[in-house]
Structure 1
Amino acid sequence: MDDERSAVFRFLRTEIFPGGEMPGKHDVLEYSEAGGFSVEEIELLRPHYIRTVDTWAENLRANRERAIAIQSDEVYDRYLRYLTGCAQLFRKGISNVGRFALVK
């Protein structure tokens, strides 16, 4: 599972969010507190995002020709891989999406 996780996160860092970071829950908490914020509420959205990215992938597939006409086969394939890969990470409990309410 670590190889799969590493490959997916490497793909996300290089192909989808180049130069970006995907902080974990502990990072958000640490940096928020270091910045003088306190965490008022945390809502983890994994179950909702499974459905969300599945729906996005389904819609992309349904609009394949249009998406390719606007961009390219390569971009279509990249984003379909992104959406379906994220769904698998969420299903396997490897990744999550969170909403953090902070107060200062």
Structure 2
Amino acid sequence: MLFVSIIIISLVFFVYFKVQQAKVPGHMLKSWYAAKSSITIGVFFVAFAINSYNSFGSQVAAIVGLVFVVYGIINIVFGIRNYRTYLPLARKEMEEIKKAELQS
């Protein structure tokens, strides 16, 4: 039941970050939200793989689960790397957007 909850929560956050990515005006902010969504989809894949292996327990489920875990970990690692890269740039871009709104 724990992994089902993690799966649902990660999908909700994935959709939320994708909607936010579409709504924000700046390129760096879009990249920052894309990194966040990459992390959440990676968590989804890992939780889904563990849940499917626990539910089915077959050799096929183990192989598919292993592929999903590897793909999920890759998404999490690259998502964290991109998040750290884009966070200062997104903050700077947000400050510039706020200054432009105040001036107009």
> Do Structure 1 and Structure 2 share a fold, with TM-score over 0.5?
no
Q: 1 or 2, which has the higher strand percentage?
A: 1
The TM-score with structure 1 as length reference comes to 0.41
